[in-house]
Amino acid sequence: MGTSARKDRLNVQQTKYIIGGMKMTRKMKVFSLALVVLLIAAGVMVLYNGKIIAANVTSTTPEGGKNIVSVTGEGIVRLAPEIAFITIGVETTDKDVSVAQNKNRSTMNNIIAELKRLGVKDENLQTQTYQVSPDYRWENNKNVLVGYRVTNLVKVKILDIDSTGKILDAVTAKGANIVQQIQFTVADEKQAYHQALQIALKDAEDKAKRMVGYFGMTKLSPVSITEGGQSITYPPMRVGVATDVAAESVTPVSPGELEIRAQVNVSFQYQ
């Protein structure tokens, strides 16, 4: 084989690659590919064979250099209750279910009429329970039907909280034999909670200032504020039905105080 033919064969076997006008051997190409892979892994945009190759990069802002203090603030608002809720009812029994129902209906009608006479409007009366159930007694190792029990419960909203005791006495005099837990509240709980929330935020700020101020820092800037939650403590009172109350006396009712709490979690950057 002549010298010219051997050179042509060598040129075929020694394949060359051209990138950006520069000739590269196979070994150089392998090295360049490895370099491209490393650059992509590092998030670097690479031009290879005339094409732009880029890695998916997620950019995050480091927290380095920021001084953060996190505190919890609490606010409490105490109010005198303005409204009372009370559930009153009538329970009747008889061997005949119709008789038990008629007794119950007649007594409850008298109670409702008395409530209206005392100023309670229809929209402030809400039936909670009306139930008719058989009454059994255990005799001779078996249940024996002895009659029926009818229960009727009504929830009453009392806007004039000072008249609560008077209303209790009036309805028991009319035949109410069930008086359940009284609950006190205010007309606008939302507004009271907002007041508690402002107190909680101020409490958080004061705590953060005291903590960083110990180290001579004075500048604060809130970076995160989270509402921690709301709680309302109602002053409950259980009452019973008095059977020997004198006509001139009134059942005493003490509303106490309503407590509304707010909590916040605040993070401040300080300098």
Q: How far apart are CA 122 and CA 166, in angstroms?
A: 19
**DSSP character for 214?**
T
User: How does the average pLDDT of the chain come out, rounded?
Assistant: 80
**pLDDT at site 207:** 95
Q: Are residues 118 and 174 in the same domain?
A: yes
Residues 174 and 87 in one domain: yes
Amino acid identity of residue 196, one-letter, is A
Judged by average pLDDT, the poorest of 5-19, 74-88, 187-201, 211-225 is 5-19
Q: Are residues 213 and 170 in the same domain?
A: no
In this predicted model, what pLDDT tens digit does every residue of 212-238 receive, in sequence order?
A: 999 999 899 999 999 988 888 876 554
148 and 166 both lie in a single domain: yes
The winner for highest mean pLDDT among 55-64, 209-218, 242-251 is 209-218
Q: Rounded CA gap, 127 and 113, in Å?
A: 15
Q: Are 174 and 191 contained in the same domain?
A: no
pLDDT reported for residue 237: 57
CA distance 69 to 71: 7
Pairing mode of beta strands 17-19, 22-24 = antiparallel
Rounded CA-CA distance 243/193 in Å is 41
Give residue 181's domain range.
Answer: 83-185
Note whether 171 and 46 are same-domain residues: no
Beta bridge partners of 93: 149
The enclosing domain of 159 has a CATH number of: 3.30.70.2970
In this structure, the answer to whether residues 179 and 219 fall within a common structural domain is no
Q: What is the pLDDT of residue 240?
A: 46
pLDDT at 73 over 80: yes
138-173 confidence digits (pLDDT tens): 988 899 999 999 999 999 999 999 999 999 999 999
Domain count, the chain: 3
Contacts of 165 (CB under 8 A, 6+ apart): 250, 251, 252, 253
> In this structure, are 88 and 66 located in the same domain?
no
Secondary structure (3-state) at 230: strand
pLDDT digits (tens, 9 = 90+) for 91-112: 999 999 999 999 999 999 999 9
